[in-house]
A = this chain, B = another copy of it.
Amino acid sequence: MVTLADVARHAGVSASTVSYVLSGKRSISRSTRERVERSIEELGYRPHAGARALASNRSGIIALMVPLRTDIYVPVMLQIAMAVTTTARAHGYDVLLLTGEEGPEAVRRIEGSAVADAMIVMDVELDDERLPLLRTARRPAVLIGLPADAGGLGCVDLDFAAAGALCVEHLAGLGHREIAFIGEAPGVYERHTGFAERTLAGLRSAAGTHDMRLLHRPCASGWTAVAATLGRILEERPGTTAFVVQNEAATDPLLALLRQQRLAVPEDVSVVAICPDQVAAQASVPLTAVAVPAQDMGRRAVEQVVAVLDGGETAGTVLLAPELTVRASSGPAPR
């Protein structure tokens, strides 16, 4: 294995000089730098991550905690994870993948062993049990999601309340008066996941403002579950003229079921989704939707983390403004 000492010897300089050429933390004469760089190249030298971590107290790793539950919003999760990884690499960091399964213990483990310089936590619950630990940790943490009390932790999320309101306003403008909200799986609400509750709050408040009736139904994934949910909604509220859907797994079954019931979209009923643009665009009826900017969220989270690590700036809350794209699934209320 090629070490820094080998490079120093090969270039005829001291070890510290090589180190400084690498880190750029002090000025090096042009000729020396070039000589060292050539030696590095020729010998194929790579700094040993462990040695560097020990000496510098920096591992160059960002830990990413992903929920293990693969039943919900899978594409969003993967998109975020990928964006985090790509952005982290662009800043010279690698990403350690943790499953939410480990819970608070994972936070202790990462913190204690100094294996990562910072943490990014996804799928945050309103009163998440990992938060106290993250707050007192010596390493920065950024949440993707918004808990009840961020309390000094950096947060990145879509403004889901505004997203919900935006859906309602779009439908109100089209003359709809009675709408149904097909939400995430019941478990998501039971866990008090921030984004789900905030969306619901946004919908309710805007529905109130616009004097609309709103029916909320959580919905598990799977064709059968969607069919059951739709059946119950149509029975309870036969006057429903529009659906807001925040459940990636439900959009396609919903459209197919409406078709089966001879309900034309958007002539008979409108559908507005809250999902990634790609999902909305590829549906059987291209969906009017508020985009969940998964890539953006991942990218911003890393940028916050890196800002703290490199600059020392303390992280705040970044709420991304929702954008609604009108496609083929929404239209004027019938009659």
A109 to B, closest residue via Cβ: B46
A53 to B53, CA, bound (A): 9
Q: Is B98 within 8 A of A85, CB to CB?
A: yes
Q: How many copies does the complex hold?
A: 2
A159 to B102, CA, bound (A): 33
Q: How many residues of A contact B (CB 8 A)?
A: 57
Q: Known: A49-B114, A79-B70, A82-B68. Is A284-B95 also a contact (CB below 8 A)?
A: no
Q: Within 8 Å CB of A115, what residues of B?
A: 49-50, 61, 94
Stretch from A176-184, A189-197, A252-260 at the B interface: A252-260
Q: Known: A78-B70, A99-B82, A259-B260. Is A113-B47 also a contact (CB below 8 A)?
A: yes
Contact with B along A72-94 (1 / 0, CB 8 A): 00110111011001100100001
A103 to B112, CA, bound (A): 32
A298 to B285, CA, bound (A): 35
A41 contacts chain B at the CB level, 8 A cutoff: no
Q: Within 8 Å CB of A114, what residues of B?
A: 1, 48-50
A201 contacts chain B at the CB level, 8 A cutoff: no
Q: Could you pull out 30 A-B pairs where Cβ atoms are within 8 angstroms?
A: A1-B114, A46-B108, A46-B109, A46-B112, A49-B59, A49-B115, A50-B50, A50-B54, A50-B59, A61-B96, A64-B97, A70-B78, A74-B74, A74-B78, A78-B78, A85-B97, A85-B99, A89-B99, A94-B98, A94-B115, A96-B96, A96-B97, A221-B282, A222-B281, A223-B283, A224-B282, A249-B282, A252-B253, A256-B256, A256-B259
A64-B97, A95-B97 known; 20 other A-B pairs, CB under 8 Å?
A: A44-B112, A46-B113, A48-B114, A49-B53, A49-B113, A50-B50, A50-B51, A50-B59, A61-B115, A68-B82, A70-B78, A74-B75, A74-B78, A78-B78, A82-B99, A86-B101, A222-B282, A223-B284, A252-B256, A259-B260
